[in-house]
A and B are shown apart, each in its own frame.
Chain A
Amino acid sequence: MKKSTLWDWLTTVDHKKIGIMYLVAGAFFFVLGGLEAMLIRIQLMFPESNFVSAQAFNELITMHGTTMIFLAAMPLLFGFMNFIVPLQIGARDVAFPFLNSLGFWLFLSGGILLNLSWFFGGAPDAGWTAYVPLSSAAYASTGLDYYVLGLQISGAGTLIGGINFLVTIITMRAPGMTMMKMPLFTWSTFVASALILFAFPALTVGLFLLMFERLFGANYFIVEAGGNVVIWQHLFWIFGHPEVYILVLPAFGIFSEVLSTFSKKRLFGYSAMVFATLIIGFLGFMVWAHHMFTVGMGPVANAIFAVATMAIAVPTGIKIFNWLLTLWGGRIQFTTANLFALGFIPSFVLGGVTGVMLATSAANYQFHDTYFVVAHFHYVIIGGVVFGLFAGTFYWWPKIFGTMLNETLGKWFFWLFFIGFHLTFFVQHFLGLMGMPRRVASYLDGQGLNDLNFISTIGAFFMAVAFIILLANIFVSRNDKAVSDPWDGRTLEWATSTPVKEYNFAQTPVVRDLDALWYEKMKGNKRLPVAEPLGEIHMPNGSILPLIMSVGLFIASFGFIYHTYIISVIGLGITLGCMLVRSIKEDHGYHIPVDQIEQDKEVG
């Protein structure tokens, strides 16, 4: 029995199980990235400290950033998207179940590969942006090879996931669910997936170039051979800036769901919210060079990118006001999920304000590469994305795991985390303005930096304790069974049974208005109208091939890292062989018979 359960998880193509695997793996990497952060803050707690060496510090900051962005924040969001989006649109499945599974395993094998660098010759140490020439073969050792290949593999997984969400949302919405009746989380998933589709290939190319240069002696970035280092920066940020919105838009979607559910009101300005999401998505691509104001692009380019950057404040402001107006006059419930959503609004506004300051290209010369920047992006990414992840965790936990998280512990968690977050990062604005550079392992005594650094580290400990309380909460509440609609929800995921059946909906629902479930509740209907009679349901078969394909690339990477190309050939052969098998074997799935669905109905 045990073995078959494991096999079931390794071969599953069920979007809900894949969602859970993304959440578990993402949480694991989140802990890893958090530990790295704690080591960084402990090192910086006192001036001229020797807690970690300068080399280890460089590795820690590189891996902290890389892990948190690629292996924690994105997969955790993907976990929610995978589980929730098909339910929200009333679909039985995603468009490409097999590819969905492949995307997960690619992400995981890339993530593991990247982290194995700690044990084999040292982690990458050139910063998460891996600027050349710092990341070139001349300056960075094996760790960077792990970075290049690990991110390449997990990036491919992300791209596949993005395409899957796009197609799922385009073709698989329940009857009646027009684009303008989709819940905001689905909308933001849609726009974020489009950003993934157009941003990640630039990273793919950047990583290929760096890989070819490091492994095969190419010269793109080597100035003596006619190369140009700024090309890397452009490619990295053409990907890297949209990445910010790939992370924060789904978080915005979560806040929209949470705030309207716990205000018992329709989201204020729904169509303006959708429009703002699209505008932010578009502008996200137009501003990448604001990361490069001090490179020497010249005043014209700097001015254009400064103005484009500041323009993003407009749609974001529209969103902020819509959230406030959703709360206005609502029956606000202060659940943990809602506390995170409420805490997000002022926190994120602070991050937005410093963003406009940084976008002022003349002033940017002063702020550049100081702790002011560190404070800014942590306000955006923790105050926006991580708060969103935590709000989503408390909000969707009952649906995903079938248990209710404890609200008392949840509130301890929120307050400790919220206070710890502001304690850690608010003071860093001042550290930055006083001239403390980022990415430097230590600072001197007597420069007025001691107290604020000490406070900052205390805040980090608050956040660490808060996270331990969250883990305790998960453990304590493991037997507290949830009902299928614990929050008196508005959208379709709350219309499914808990735990959700593998086919999601026994009969495809019909959507008649925005917040379809709430609409039916207000009409006094117990159930959603259905689009079809009860009939047998077609499901895709599980497959072990995605796992093997990912392992193949994992093996190939070791061949490249250690220049043993026969191993690379074997690894790539495994992957291509699996692709061949997949394309030759027709897999028509199976059907769930009607009597089983009726049985489920009686039990659930």
Chain B
Amino acid sequence: MGHAHHNSGVLPPNPEKATLEGKNKFIGFWLFLGGETVLFASLFGTYLGLRNGTAGGPTAAELFHLPLVFVATMILLTSSLTSVFAMIAMKKGNYKGMLVWMWVTVALGLSFLGLEIYEFYDYLNNGLGFTTSAFGSAFYTLVGFHGAHVAFGVAWIITLLIRYRKGGLTLTNAPKFYLASLYWHFIDVVWVFIFTIVYLMGIGG
């Protein structure tokens, strides 16, 4: 078990979980995402409990611009798709293709973050700060936690892309790319809930 496979010619069909280390990472990471689910569920619960606690400050309906958030949502969902393309390329043994699709994913992730920063800046100018009201605190905490996850994911994928820019797919780096894409999907799924619970419910009541 666990030998270094630097230049193995032919990789098995699922290189991300072919070694015991890879399999451990694969299962461990799914479990970790289970814990992350509780983390976000707790944040959603808190937000739902406090979303009307505006204390005279601006409300969700007054602030949210659905078109901006919709564009951001589309960008993030597309980035999930591009990371799927990367994984398809990986499974076909097309290392270059995987790297390219991962870079596209990073670019989309960065655009999403840019829009989010602009959005926060806009709300701040319209009177909703982190300390304005319980609603403000809960909103920035939930959406900010998600944003921090996106930023961490982008940094993670960029690190992998730079570290493994040369060479090819190995049983060591395949699990790393696979987990990064898994994490990226998770971030997307959380955003779908944010879009519904924070933004749609915020505007529609």
Contacts and interface: CB of A to CB of B under 8 A. Distances in A.
Given A197-B31, A218-B131, A227-B50, A584 B163 contact: yes
Given A163-B31, A209-B141, A235-B42, A228 B134 contact: yes
Interface string A347-361: 000000000000000
B130 A220 contact: no
A561 B124 CA distance: 26
Given A167-B28, A220-B46, A220-B50, A538 B38 contact: no
B44 to A, nearest CB: 10
Given A95-B24, A96-B28, A202 B42 contact: yes
A202 B38 CA distance: 6
B39 A171 contact: no
B131 A583 contact: no
A166 B134 CA distance: 37
Contact of B24 (A171, A206, A583, A584): A171
- What secondary structure prevails in chain B residues at the interface with A? helix
Interface in A92-125: 95-96
B102 interface: no
B46 A205 contact: yes
Contacts of B136: 219
A205 B131 contact: no
Interface string B30-55: 01101110110011011001101111
B166 interface: no
A402 B31 CA distance: 35
Contact of A171 (B20, B53, B160): B20
A279 B38 CA distance: 20
Interface string A201-224: 110111011001100111110101
Interface in B142-167: 156, 159-160, 163
23 contacts: A95-B24, A163-B32, A198-B38, A199-B38, A205-B39, A205-B43, A212-B137, A216-B130, A219-B53, A219-B55, A225-B53, A225-B55, A225-B134, A226-B133, A227-B50, A227-B137, A228-B50, A538-B3, A583-B160, A583-B176, A584-B163, A588-B2, A589-B2
Interface string B5-35: 0000000000000001001100110011011
Interface string B171-185: 010001000000000
A252 interface: no
Contacts of A566: none
B4 A588 contact: yes
A602 interface: no
Contacts of A170: 27
B49 A228 contact: yes
B35 A218 contact: no
Contacts of B141: 208-209, 212, 218, 220
B131 A219 contact: yes
Nearest to A198: B38
Contacts of A583: 156, 159-160, 163, 176
Given A205-B39, A216-B130, A217-B130, A166 B31 contact: yes
Given A95-B24, A197-B35, A201-B39, A226 B130 contact: no
A200 interface: yes
Contacts of A212: 137, 141
A172 B23 CA distance: 10
Given A95-B24, A205-B42, A231-B46, A163 B35 contact: yes
B55 A206 contact: no
B35 A225 contact: no
Nearest to B142: A205
A217 B129 CA distance: 11
Given A222-B134, A589-B2, A234 B45 contact: yes
Given A228-B50, A231-B49, A538-B1, A171 B27 contact: yes
B24 A201 contact: no
B137 A219 contact: yes
A163 B34 CA distance: 10
A451 B37 CA distance: 51
A238 interface: yes
Contacts of B191: none
A231 B133 CA distance: 15
Contacts of A204: 39, 42
Contacts of B131: 216-219
B135 interface: yes
A197 B172 CA distance: 26
B1 A227 contact: no
A197 B34 contact: yes
B198 interface: no
A218 B50 CA distance: 12
Given A163-B31, A212-B137, A225-B134, A201 B172 contact: no
B172 A220 contact: no
Given A202-B42, A205-B42, 18 more contacts: A159-B35, A163-B28, A166-B28, A170-B27, A171-B27, A198-B35, A201-B39, A208-B141, A209-B46, A217-B131, A218-B141, A219-B137, A226-B53, A227-B50, A227-B53, A235-B46, A588-B2, A588-B3
A580 interface: yes
Nearest to B23: A171
Nearest to A224: B55
Contacts of A206: 42
B138 interface: yes
A583 B175 CA distance: 12
B115 to A, nearest CB: 24
Nearest to A580: B159
Residue from A163, A202, A219 with most neighbouring chain B CB atoms (10 Å): A219
Contacts of B28: 95-96, 163-164, 166-167
Contacts of A228: 49-50, 53, 134
